[in-house]
Amino acid sequence: MMFFRKSRNRRLGGGAVLDVKLRSDQARAQRARLAAIGLGVTFATVFCVFLLWRTGEWVMNRLIYENDAFALQTVAVETDGVLAPDQIRRWAAVKPGANLMALDLHRVRRDLELVPVIAAVAVERVLPHTLSIRVTERVPVAQVNLSRVRPGGGIDTVTLHLDAEGWVMPPVDPRERAGPATAGEADLPLLVGVSPAEAPIGRRVEAPRVRAALDMLAAFHESPLAAVVDLRRVDVSAPGVLVVTTDQGGTVTLGLQEFDRQFLRWREIHERGLRHGRLVAALDLAVTNNIPARWMEANLDPNPAPRKPVRPVRKPAPTRRNA
């Protein structure tokens, strides 16, 4: 059986193939045009943004950051403590003639607050030529004597101050002061039993017994007892109590809580002893009943020297935000 294959006219079927190929070429060309347009728009946008940024930067530099009209001429310093304004200016490290608008206020405030004796700083621009610096200083309420090893060998005794919040700082150098030290600063109560590791300079004391001693001193300065007794020494080494030595040579043991109540009882016992010509030699206020006390004869001077004024405990003011 014979099979016959029908002949095809290839020219008749070639039209569809050519049409499909044409449409594919057109689609690729269209995609290429769209990609080129997208790239062109993106490049133009980036270029315009860059041009605007550089133009704005140039304008800001010419009109503000490099404008001699904002050259720094005066650094006005205000402080509530003993630091000399010139010393604060040196710590601020601001050069006269620097552009006031380009000055980094955060850097100035940070550098000043790294000084241990400074609690808070507010820095403001006062256009066109003045930088205003307001400083809140830490007020020392106690001192500690710590032993430190010298790099070359040997041991030195270093005196450090503590404020009411427990911040540790070295005494203000006389060259950094606006005036001489007062008698109250020289006669700060001495904390005994504090280790060097518990009192790093520029940091806050965290030991509970030292914090309790500072709370006791703050309560003492607010109590009527401060008008008749001075504290010379506070021993924090004994667990659960504070052993206080007064300027009259007596020792008083205090509990770590309810200082106001203990000071009231101390004042009553002190006045009772004076009526009999005696002073407290030893007193234990850490117990609540049958308070043990020892007495000593009072050497009453008919013309007693005036007692030094009680220096108020001032807490640092909150830091103001820069303008």
- DSSP for 62-105, written as a single string: IIIIT-GGGB--EEEEEESSSB-HHHHHHHHT--TT-BTTT--H
Helix or strand (DSSP H, E) at 155: strand 155-163
CB 135 within 8 A of CB 112: yes
Residues 6+ apart with CB under 8 A from 218: 141, 164, 313
For the chain, what is the mean pLDDT? 84
Q: Which has more pLDDT, 94 or 305?
A: 94
CB contact at 8 A, 199 and 168: yes
Edge-to-edge strands, sheet with 130-137: 74-79, 130-137, 118-126
Beta bridge pairs of residue 254:
242
> CA 228, CA 19: separation in Å to the nearest integer?
114
Measured at the CA of 297, the angle between CA 293 and CA 303, to 5 degrees, comes to: 125
What predicted TM-score, i.e. pTM, was given to this entire model? Answer: 0.74
- CB atoms under 10 Å from CB of 136, counted, come to 22
pLDDT tens per residue across span 21-67: 667 777 777 888 888 888 888 888 888 887 777 766 666 565 566 67
Mean of pLDDT values over 175-192: 87
Backbone φ and ψ of 234, nearest 5°: -130, 115
Contact 297, 278 (CB under 8 A): yes
Work out the pLDDT band at 280, boundaries 50, 70, 90. very high
pLDDT at residue 154 in the model: 80
pLDDT of residue 8: 53
- Percent of the chain beyond pLDDT 90? 57
